[in-house]
Amino acid sequence: MAPLTIAIIGCGPAGLAAALLLARQGQRVAIFDRFIAPGPVGSGLMIQPTGLAVLAQLGLANEVVRRGARIDALQGIEEHGKTVLDAPYTALGLAGAYGLGIHRASLFAVLLAAAERQDGITIHPDHAVTGSTCDAGGRRLIFAARDPSAPFDLVVDASGWRTLFDPAPKGVLPFGALWASLPTLPGDPFAGNLLEQRYRRAAQMAGVLPIGTRPDLGTPEVAFFWSLKADDYPAWAATPLDDWKAEVLRLWPDLAGLLARITTRDQLTFARYAHRTHPCPVGERMIAIGDAWHSASPQLGQGANMALLDAWSLAQGLAEGRTLDEKLRLAASWRRDHVWLYQWVTKLFTPLYQSDSRVLPMLRDRLLAPLSRRWPAAGVQAQLMSGLFGFPLAPLGLTPPDYAGLSASRINADASGESHS
């Protein structure tokens, strides 16, 4: 078949990964982004084994690992010092497995550089997409203050959960989070290989995630986050910064040094989240991937990983289907069960950690926490955390990452003095 002309809306991880995979098939890809200079939004994220498997297929896993921070477990402690969440990657039974904390800017930089090197990809910044039309010639994009695009054989919506192409309610969650990327210093009382969280019931949560080193800074960082209801944000903005810090320190005194590095509110970004699933991710000459198809609370840390899996599935569908309709149907069908599963799991688990409930945290601490340390619950918990619950890799022709090879690559980078966390 002749190469397809494909428009991708959004220059995030989903859009860039899809562009790379499709261009390597020989398709002609144009990425449209509303920002004048496309860039990452947010602070830190987790790359799980699922996402790392896709990055390995792209040939980018070694570089991403060198820029990130190895995470061996997620640990959560409630306000009185009791460990209520202990989820090590060793419970997966997958030799050498780990997660990767990384700054969004680092992941974005790796994907963008690869896209800029790849033949067949053009990036169009400052193109805010407001809609599209479809006729026999293809699907055209409509822009704010610009003429419509030429017709494309396919449009991929990777514009995130605020997508304009799903008119259904967005399901915005009551809890969001304040985020900051902060440098680490010798003597900081944080484990460099853990995602650490502290809880006061489910109404307050503080977290620290090592996110490696951005090349332009050269200093290891952590992502600090503090859960906050959107309705409470105006009151927080009017509260003296030191008063808010005192509230955080009452929950987690060891954060004193880290909070001292927050000197202005400008260092903190408030993020909103939505729990939604597009009822029809496939349309005429169009498909939604990533958060434009499905979005959820970041509690399980799956957003970027699900997006990478969607991009891989789209490329596989285009390679194997005979007609465009069949290609898109295959791409969505291979991901539908895993998406459905994690949407429900996230919906069930999030209120245990972010809600006004007093009963659910008691259930979490007194029943679920002890059970999670026993077989087979420990393995199931690790599967959920890693994104491997539901066995998503094999149906897509993917295999778990080569952790031994990735570790050797990082050791070699250490020896040669390359920039890393």
- If one counts every other C-beta atom within 10 angstroms of the C-beta of residue 326, the result is 12
In the prediction, which pLDDT does 144 show?
93
**Longest alpha-carbon distance in the chain:** 64
The CATH number corresponding to 5-169+274-405 among 3.40.50.300, 2.60.120.10, 3.50.50.60, 3.30.40.230 equals 3.50.50.60
Q: What is the mean pLDDT of residues 17-25?
A: 98
**Alpha-carbon gap, residue 340 to 342, rounded angstroms:** 6
Amino acid occupying residue 281 = P
The confidence band for 418, taking pLDDT boundaries of 50, 70 and 90, is low
Give the closest residue to 353 by CA, choosing from 344, 343, 365.
Answer: 365
Phi, psi angle pair for 261, to nearest 5°: -85, -5
**Alpha-carbon gap, residue 226 to 203, rounded angstroms:** 10
* Residue 355: CA count within 13 A, CB half-sphere: 16
Is the pLDDT at 421 greater than 80? The verdict is: no
**Alpha-carbon gap, residue 158 to 6, rounded angstroms:** 12
What is the DSSP secondary structure assignment for residue 256, as one 8-state letter?
A: H
Is the pLDDT at 367 greater than 50? The verdict is: yes
Strand blocks (E) in 184-219: 194-200, 204-213
Burial of residue 367 (CB within 10 Å: 0-12, 13-18, 19+) is exposed
**Alpha-carbon gap, residue 234 to 359, rounded angstroms:** 27
In the prediction, which pLDDT does 38 show?
67
Contact 123, 37 (CB under 8 A): no
- Each domain of the chain, given as residue ranges in start order, spans 5-169+274-405
Is the pLDDT at 420 greater than 70? The verdict is: no
In the prediction, which pLDDT does 416 show?
65
DSSP strand pairing (83-88 vs 73-78): antiparallel
Give the closest residue to 75 by CA, choosing from 170, 173, 244, 206.
Answer: 206
**Alpha-carbon gap, residue 204 to 351, rounded angstroms:** 12
The confidence band for 101, taking pLDDT boundaries of 50, 70 and 90, is very high
Percentage of the chain surpassing pLDDT 70?
Answer: 96
Is the pLDDT at 419 greater than 60? The verdict is: no
Contact 318, 4 (CB under 8 A): yes
Supply 328's token pair: 């898109």
